[in-house]
Structure 1
Amino acid sequence: MFAVVPLKFFKNGGRSMSNFHSTLSRREFMKGLGLAGAGLGAVAAVAPQFQDLDEATGSEKAGWKRAWWVKSVDEPSNPIDWSLMQRLDQRQVNDWMPGGKFNDSPEMKAIRENNTEYVEKWSTERFYPEYKGTSTRDNAMNLVAGVSTSIYSTGYTTPFDGIQIVKTPEQLGIPKWEGTPEENLKTLRAAFRTFGAADVACIEITPEKTRKIIFSYQQQCAERPYPYKVARNKRYDFENIDQAYYTDEKMVIPEKCRYLIVWTTLMPPELTLREGVPLGKSSTSLAYARSQTINTNVMEFIRALGYQTLSAFRATMTPAAPRGILSGIGEHNRMCLPTMSPEYGMFIRTVNGILTDMPIETTKPIDAGMYRFCEKCGICSVSCPYGALPQGDPSWDTEFTGRNPDHHIFNGNTPGYEGYRMYVSLCTKCGVCQGNCPFNTINQSWVHSLVKATTSTTSLFNSFFHSMQNNMGYGIKNPAEWWDLKEHWSWGYPPNFVG
C-alpha cells in the first residue's frame, strides 16, 4: 500500500536542509515518505505545517528544553481516577513474580532459572538468526556491567534516610541554601546531569492523590547487614514530624517531605538494541550500577544544602512508572513497567526518586502521542518471550481471567487508571520489549523528530510508522555487530544524546 521511503530523502540525516532552519509542510513530508495518497488532506487538516525543528522547542522555567510537539498537560494522557487508586503492598507484588511465594510452581521456577538461555534462544530464532551465540567477551561484558564501586552496589535498595556522610550546613556553622522552587529545580538539574543523570523532574506528594503511588509496605528483602535490613517488610507511614525515622515495624515520612524528585538513567542505546542475549542485558546492569552512584551523590548533595532526603531508588517507596508519568518524564505505554520518553524512547531503564523537604518547582505530565501510538503498534507484546505483555486496547480492568484467574490488585495491577497491565506472574524483566520499541532512535536527525511529531498530532499513520523499524533502522539489532561498530562512545552514549 505504501511506497518504501526513498533513501535520498534522508540523505545525511536530512541535513541537506539549510541547517535545519526550514519549515516543511506535512504534505511534502508525506510525499517524501511515499504516502502521496488518500489521507494527506486529513494530515494537513490536523497540523498543516511543521514548526522549525531547531528553534521551536518548549522549555520549562528551570531549563528543560523539549521538542515543540511534547505538550505539557494537567493530567496524563492515560486517564486516572484517583478515587479508585489504591496503595500497593510491594511484598505481595514481588511474590507474584516467577519463583515468588505465590508463583513458585516447578514451571515458574524453571522460567526463572532458565530465563537467560530461553530468551537468547527465542531472540536468536526471531530477531537475529545469524547470531552464533554468546561469546566469552559477550559474557564478560554482561558479568561486569553491574559491578559498582558504590558501597551500596550489592543491595537492591539504599538506606531509607541516606548514608549521611557529608556534613550539613548546621554542622558546619553556615546557613542552609535558600532558593526559590524554580532555582532549586534548576540547581538539581545541574547537579544530577553533572553526576550522570538524563532528565530531572518533580511531583508533589499530596494525601488525596499522589500519596497513593507510595507503597503501603516495602518489598520483602532477604536478610542483609545494615543498612539494607532497615527496609525489610516495613510499612510506610506519614506523620507531622520534623525528621524521618524508622523502627522495627515502620518507616515514617514527615508530612513536609512532599517533593518527589524524579530522575532517569539511560541505558547505552547500541547495547539496548541488542537485548535478548547477555551482551544486550549488560545495558540494564550498567544503568543500575551507574544510577546507584548518582542516587548517593545527589542525596548527599541535598543534605549538604541543608535538607533531608528519603530514598525512592528504583522500585523503593513507589513504583517507577507512575512517578515517571506524573512528572512528565514520559508516558504510559503497553510495556507497563517502563516509562516511554519522547526524547529517548525506551532507552530509560531507571526512573528513580528522592523524596525531600526542599521546596522544588513541580513539573507537569506530557502528551506526545506515545500512549495513543501503543494502541496501533503492539510490537513489544509480540516480541515478549513469555507473553507477559497485554494485547488489544487499553482498559480500566485489573483482572486477566482466562490467562491467570488469580491476577488481582496485589500482584501489581492496581485499579484507578485506563491503560495496560502486564501479566506480572510471567515477566522475568528480560528487556526484549524495550529493545524492540519503534520509539528508540539513536540518530538525532530531523527526520526522526518529524516521525515522532506526526505521531504526536495524528494517529492516522501510526500503523505505518510502527512498521518503519526496517526502513529507518529502528528496532533490535544483531549482537555480533556490536564489537565491530565504527565508534564506541564514552559511557555508551552518542554525542549530544543526553540532555
Structure 2
Amino acid sequence: MTKFHSIISRRDFMKGLGITSAGLGAMAGIGPVFKDLDDMMASPSGNFKRSWWVKERDFRDLTIDVDWNVLDIRKPFTIAPLTMKLLEEGPRIERRGAAMRANIKGDRLQDHAVTEALDRVMNYVKAGAPVPLNQDINVASTQFLNGGPDYWGTPCWEDTPEENLQLVRSVMHYFGSSQVFVFEIDDYMKKLFTQEVSWGDVDTPQVNQSNGVITLPNKCKWGIVGAIKQNSVIQKYGIKVHEDGPAKGYQPHFAEASCYDAYIDLHIVSLKIQAFLQGLGYSGVDAQFVGSGRHDPIRSLFGQYSVPFSAFAGLGEMSRANIICSPEYGLGIRRPVLMLTDLPLTPTKPVDAGIFNFCHTCKICANNCPSGQLSKDDEPSWEVHNYQGQPINRSGICSYRADYVVASNFGCPRDCSLCQGICPFNHPNEAIIHPIIKGTVGATPILDGFFANMERFMYSPENMDMDAWWKRDLNSWSGDALPGFPSRVD
C-alpha cells in the first residue's frame, strides 16, 4: 500500500498556522499527536466514534432483561391492525380537513402537503417506482394514499407568485435542492422543447401512441429549476487521468460516484416536489422524461433541457465545457430538477457572475480534457460541428463548441466527467480567498488571466489516495454529506 509521510515537522506546521511554542505545549495535553497520515489512520479516531458517555456492553447484553428461554419471535404474535380502512375512516379525514380549513399552524394545507408528499414518495419507491406514463404526479394513486385539497375538503392553495416562489424554495431546500429558480414558459421558451413536444388544452400530459409526440398542458406556464449539488470531494478523485496501465488516459472511475449519487438525488427530489405540488392542488410535470429522452435513453442522458432552462432561469452561466457553471458551486452540479407546473410563480432572471467571460481566458477544462473534445479557441463561435451531414451542436447560440463525436468515441459521458471536477469555480466559499476571487471576477475581467494561472499553480491535478479514503476518519471527514446530521461528534 502506498504511504504518504509528511516531510514537514509538526513544529514547522504549527508555526505555519501561526501557533507559537507556548501553544504547542497546551495543545499536546488536549489531543493525540500523530507523526504522519498512517499514524492517524491507525488511531481509534479512524473509525466511527460515539460520544464519551456511550459505553459498550457485552454481546446480547441489553439494558433491558431478556429471558432467552421464553423469547422467540417465531411464536404467533398479533398487533393492532393498522389497515388502510383505518387510515381512510371519516372522522380522521374530517379532523384533518377541519384543521386545514381553520388554518392552524402546523396543520395547514401547505404544512400537510410536505408530510403527504414524503409519505407518497416513500410508498411509491417501495412499490418499485414505475415511471408514470401520463407524466403527471401519479406517485400517489389510489393504490397508496389519497390526498390533496379535494380529498381533505379544503380549497387549493392560493397566494401571490412571489409568496409561491418562497414556498417552493423553502420546501425544495428541505427536500434536497439548495437553490431554486423559475422560468416562464412563453413562446420563446417553447422553442427549447424538441419536436416531440406539443402544447394543448389538456389536463395532464397525453402521449400519441402512433408518433410518440407528448402534448403538454397549456396551463403549465412555469418551470421550476432546482440545483442538485454533487459531492465536491469525491469529484476531486477524478481530476487527473491515469498515467499508465490499462486505464491510461482515463480518469479514475471512482469519481463518477458523485455523478450517479446526484442523479439519484435528482429523481427523488423531483418526485417529492411533484407530490408536494399535488398536495397544494396543482400539477407537476417532470421535464426529465418529456420528449426524445423518453424513447432514447442515450439522448436523455445528455439532459437536453437542463442547460438552456438553467441558464434562462438564472441557476448559472454557460461555460466552455458547454454545461451550466454555478457562481456558488461551479461545474459541481448535476442535471437539475426540471418541473413544469400550473402553480403561479415569479420568474427569476439570468445572471452574469463573470463566468463565461472567465472561460475565455481560463481553458483549464479544455486543456485537461483527455478526449480533446472541448474547444481551446480564444473566442466562442456561431459555427457548429457536423457528423455525416447533420449538426451535432445547437445552432443559434454563440458558444464554445464541443465535438461530441470525439467525446463519444472516447467513452463520454460514461467514462469521463473530468471537466466538472477541475473547474476553478468549484471551490467552496469557506476559504476567505475564494469569495474574494469570485467577486473580483464578477466585477471585472482584468485579473482573469492571473487567477487562472493561480488556479493552475495552487490546484494542479494530483493523484488522490484511495487507501486513505477507505480508511478516512468518519468523525470529521468533510466529504460525506449526511443531511440532518451533525458534521462531527464531540
- TM-score for the superposition, normalised by structure 1: 0.60
Which residue of structure 1 lines up, in the alignment, with residue 206 of structure 2? 245
Task: Note closer, same or farther for the CA distance 1:281–1:350 as it changes in structure 2 (3 Å cut).
Answer: same
- Give the CA deviation at 1:396: 3.9
Q: State yes or no: 1:290 paired with 2:261.
A: no
* Letter aligned with residue 314 of structure 2: G
- Give the CA deviation at 1:476: 6.0
Q: Which residues in structure 2 correspond to 1:21-32 (within 5 Å)?
A: none
Task: Note closer, same or farther for the CA distance 1:431–1:398 as it changes in structure 2 (3 Å cut).
Answer: same
- Alpha-carbon separation, structure 2, partners of 1:198 and 1:479: 30
- Alpha-carbon separation, structure 2, partners of 1:158 and 1:265: 24
Q: State yes or no: 1:258 paired with 2:203.
A: no
Task: Note closer, same or farther for the CA distance 1:485–1:449 as it changes in structure 2 (3 Å cut).
Answer: farther
RMSD: 3.2
* Letter aligned with residue 375 of structure 1: H
Q: State yes or no: 1:236 paired with 2:197.
A: yes
Q: Which residues in structure 2 correspond to 1:74-153 (within 5 Å)?
A: 150=125
Which residue of structure 2 lines up, in the alignment, with residue 270 of structure 1? 233
Check the 8 A contact 2:181/2:315 in 1, yes or no: yes
Structure 1 residues 401-431: Cα deviation after superposition (integer angstroms, max 9, x where no partner): xxx653644x3x1111111221122331211
| Residue among 482, 489, 493 paired with 2:469 | 482
Q: Secondary structure at the match of 1:202?
A: strand
- Alpha-carbon separation, structure 1, partners of 2:330 and 2:472: 22
Q: State yes or no: 1:194 paired with 2:155.
A: no
* Count of residues in Structure 1 that have an aligned counterpart in Structure 2: 330
Q: Which has the higher contact order (CA 8 A, sep 6+)?
A: 1
Task: Note closer, same or farther for the CA distance 1:436–1:448 as it changes in structure 2 (3 Å cut).
Answer: same
Q: Secondary structure at the match of 2:317?
A: coil
Q: Secondary structure at the match of 2:237?
A: coil
Q: State yes or no: 1:381 paired with 2:366.
A: yes
Question: Unaligned 5+ residue runs, structure 1?
Answer: 1-6, 13-148, 217-234
Structure 1 residues 323-370: Cα deviation after superposition (integer angstroms, max 9, x where no partner): 11111100000111x210110111101222000011011100000000
- Alpha-carbon separation, structure 2, partners of 1:270 and 1:156: 32
* Letter aligned with residue 353 of structure 1: L
Q: Secondary structure at the match of 2:388?
A: coil
- Give the CA deviation at 1:479: 4.5
* Letter aligned with residue 455 of structure 2: Q
Task: Note closer, same or farther for the CA distance 1:289–1:280 as it changes in structure 2 (3 Å cut).
Answer: same
* Letter aligned with residue 237 of structure 2: R
Structure 1 residues 30-57: Cα deviation after superposition (integer angstroms, max 9, x where no partner): xxxxxxxxxxxxxxxxxxxxxxxxxxxx
- Give the CA deviation at 1:157: 9.4
Which residue of structure 1 lines up, in the alignment, with residue 330 of structure 2? 345
Check the 8 A contact 2:328/2:428 in 1, yes or no: no
Check the 8 A contact 1:244/1:253 in 2, yes or no: yes
- Alpha-carbon separation, structure 2, partners of 1:457 and 1:150: 46
- Alpha-carbon separation, structure 2, partners of 1:189 and 1:312: 18
Check the 8 A contact 2:381/2:401 in 1, yes or no: no
Q: Which residues in structure 2 correspond to 1:289-438 (within 5 Å)?
A: 289-313=264-288, 318-336=304-322, 338-400=323-385, 406=388, 408-409=390-391, 411=392, 413-427=393-407, 428-429=412-413, 430-438=416-424
- Give the CA deviation at 1:309: 1.1
Task: Note closer, same or farther for the CA distance 1:312–1:394 as it changes in structure 2 (3 Å cut).
Answer: farther
Q: Which residues in structure 2 correspond to 1:198-217 (within 5 Å)?
A: 198-207=178-187, 209-216=188-195
Check the 8 A contact 1:150/1:292 in 2, yes or no: no
Task: Note closer, same or farther for the CA distance 1:493–1:425 as it changes in structure 2 (3 Å cut).
Answer: farther
- Alpha-carbon separation, structure 1, partners of 2:361 and 2:457: 18
Check the 8 A contact 2:230/2:334 in 1, yes or no: yes
- Alpha-carbon separation, structure 2, partners of 1:206 and 1:285: 32
Which residue of structure 2 lines up, in the alignment, with residue 112 of structure 1? none
Check the 8 A contact 1:198/1:264 in 2, yes or no: yes
- Alpha-carbon separation, structure 2, partners of 1:368 and 1:193: 23
Check the 8 A contact 1:396/1:415 in 2, yes or no: no
Which residue of structure 2 lines up, in the alignment, with residue 492 of structure 1? 481
- Alpha-carbon separation, structure 2, partners of 1:152 and 1:335: 39
- Give the CA deviation at 1:279: 1.7
Question: Unaligned 5+ residue runs, structure 2?
Answer: 1-12, 19-123, 141-145, 239-250, 294-299
The answer to which of 319-328 and 440-449 deviates more is: 440-449
- Give the CA deviation at 1:496: 11
* Letter aligned with residue 247 of structure 1: N
Check the 8 A contact 2:182/2:313 in 1, yes or no: yes
Check the 8 A contact 1:312/1:318 in 2, yes or no: no
- TM-score for the superposition, normalised by structure 2: 0.61
- Alpha-carbon separation, structure 2, partners of 1:451 and 1:368: 11
Task: Note closer, same or farther for the CA distance 1:312–1:298 as it changes in structure 2 (3 Å cut).
Answer: same
Q: Secondary structure at the match of 1:313?
A: helix
Task: Note closer, same or farther for the CA distance 1:157–1:444 as it changes in structure 2 (3 Å cut).
Answer: farther
Task: Note closer, same or farther for the CA distance 1:198–1:479 as it changes in structure 2 (3 Å cut).
Answer: farther
Q: Secondary structure at the match of 2:376?
A: coil
- Give the CA deviation at 1:199: 1.1
| Residue among 446, 450, 455 paired with 1:460 | 446
Which residue of structure 2 lines up, in the alignment, with residue 181 of structure 1? 161
Q: Which residues in structure 2 correspond to 1:32-111 (within 5 Å)?
A: none
Q: Secondary structure at the match of 1:466?
A: helix
Check the 8 A contact 2:132/2:139 in 1, yes or no: no
- Give the CA deviation at 1:265: 0.9
Task: Note closer, same or farther for the CA distance 1:393–1:163 as it changes in structure 2 (3 Å cut).
Answer: farther
Which residue of structure 2 lines up, in the alignment, with residue 171 of structure 1? 151
Which residue of structure 1 lines up, in the alignment, with residue 35 of structure 2? none
* Letter aligned with residue 172 of structure 2: F
Structure 1 residues 72-95: Cα deviation after superposition (integer angstroms, max 9, x where no partner): xxxxxxxxxxxxxxxxxxxxxxxx
- Give the CA deviation at 1:240: 3.0
Check the 8 A contact 2:311/2:318 in 1, yes or no: yes
* Letter aligned with residue 454 of structure 1: T
Which residue of structure 2 lines up, in the alignment, with residue 30 of structure 1? none
Check the 8 A contact 2:429/2:435 in 1, yes or no: no
Which residue of structure 1 lines up, in the alignment, with residue 48 of structure 2? none
Task: Note closer, same or farther for the CA distance 1:344–1:493 as it changes in structure 2 (3 Å cut).
Answer: farther
- Alpha-carbon separation, structure 2, partners of 1:157 and 1:387: 39
The answer to which of 323-332 and 379-388 deviates more is: 379-388
